[in-house]
A = this chain, B = another copy of it.
Amino acid sequence: MTDLETLTRAGDLRELNRWLDEAGTLEIAEELARLAPPAKAVAFRLLGRDRALAVFEHLDPVHQQQVLEGLRDDRVRQLVEDMEPDDRARLIGELPASVATRVLSGLSPAQRAMTAALLGYPEESAGRIMSPEYVYLRESMTAADALERVRRAGAGAETVYMLPVTDDERRLQGVVSLREVVLAPPEARIGELMTREVHRVHATDDQEVAARLVQEAGLLALPVLDSEDRLVGIITVDDAMHVIEAEDTEDVALHGATQPLGRPYLAASVIGVARSRAAWLLVLIAASALTVNVLQLFEDTLETMVTLALFIPLITGTGGNTGAQASTVVIRAMAVGEVRFGDLPRVVGREARVGVTLGAFLAVIGFVPVAVVFGADIAVVVSITLLATCTWATFAGSLLPMLARRAGVDPAVVSAPLITTLVDATGLVIYFVVARAVLDV
């Protein structure tokens, strides 16, 4: 099977054209994303205007920028002019300032004004991802009027499936779906067809909150209001899905102790990737220095009984894993809205009980093999330590993310790696205290 990469490298334009004809827009976008920057524009230039736009809108802003760099100015202008305003705002928000200004100035006045308005909202806000082009209705219209209005105004709107109903001052009165309009008798009043209980957000609200609302409530579009409660745009379900994917990627990154790259993995440089991880590694290695100090405190004990050193990685590893399990589950439950701060006593209590159960289980399982190889004394120390460490780890692993959330910090920041490292040090203290008590060294 040939792919776009091979064809572009071979430079056979006829084969390339044939491939582009047969492939779907999504497939072209995926393959284009994998090409080297100059090759991107070469392949892109072969696409017709409509297909080019469709492919372009599927690309990530990083790749969009690489395509733009290889196109002539008039083609750039055309392409950006044709984009949806919210996608355009997203692209322009990520371009270098000088390029952004040039691209903006090439737009028609109407499109420029719309894009500038979106860019006026804070980053990560609902206003940045909304579409200002929607079809609105009035309560006094009939279903037939409404359908006529959709016919006239619908071509430019991002969606016509959810139709907001406003008053003369653009205040939201309700929404009606195109399906309800089509299915209703032609003379039915919109004021009677519409739903007044409407989910809505403000343009300055966090876009993740808006996106999760679209997902939870199963909406096709969500009205966005300004500070005076006037309708300024709508967020469509596909934009919401992109936000959720990006937010989940961010959570996953933090969970693995890396800063989010903010761009596709293969589009980032080695130095960029290393930089995204270096800060976290430094924090964690600084926290690990604590374990060196703890062990120093117990150096005498270690010298008397070197065997104790053999179990250090096992104890810290198991504590770390148990803590990671607890924090992972609690962070995800908060992210999807199953758990709130008020549930803290319940959640932490449950986790502590889970920790006792798991610790007891591991203590029992581990006792015999350790006793056989290293003697009963050591086995008692290891088992007691496992029980205590697991309980402590689930307790801390559930408590810290919830406190972080309460303090306004993204709980994903206090996730597995940080908790693992903190539990390492406390686990060692538990281990040596138990060892001293039991072994009398």
Contact = CB atoms under 8 A, between A and B. Distances in A.
Nearest to A179: B160
A277 interface: yes
Size bin of chain A's contact surface: 35 or more
Nearest to A264: B338
A161 interface: yes
A309 B270 CA distance: 33
Contact of A313 (B288, B336, B357, B365): B288
Contacts of A332: 249, 252-253, 265
Number of copies: 2
A345 interface: no
What DSSP secondary structure best describes chain A's contact surface?
helix
A261 B303 CA distance: 45
6 contacts: A257-B325, A270-B354, A270-B357, A291-B317, A295-B312, A316-B316
Contacts of A151: 182-183
Given A161-B179, A249-B332, 20 more contacts: A151-B183, A215-B245, A241-B244, A244-B245, A256-B328, A257-B325, A258-B325, A258-B329, A266-B346, A271-B357, A280-B325, A285-B318, A285-B362, A291-B314, A292-B310, A299-B306, A302-B309, A303-B306, A312-B312, A321-B421
B324 A417 contact: yes
Interface string A320-357: 11101101111111001111000100110010011001
B314 A289 contact: yes
Interface in A280-318: 280-282, 284-285, 288-289, 291-292, 295-296, 299, 302-303, 306-307, 309-314, 316-318
Interface in A357-405: 357-358, 361-362, 365-366, 369
A265 B347 CA distance: 9
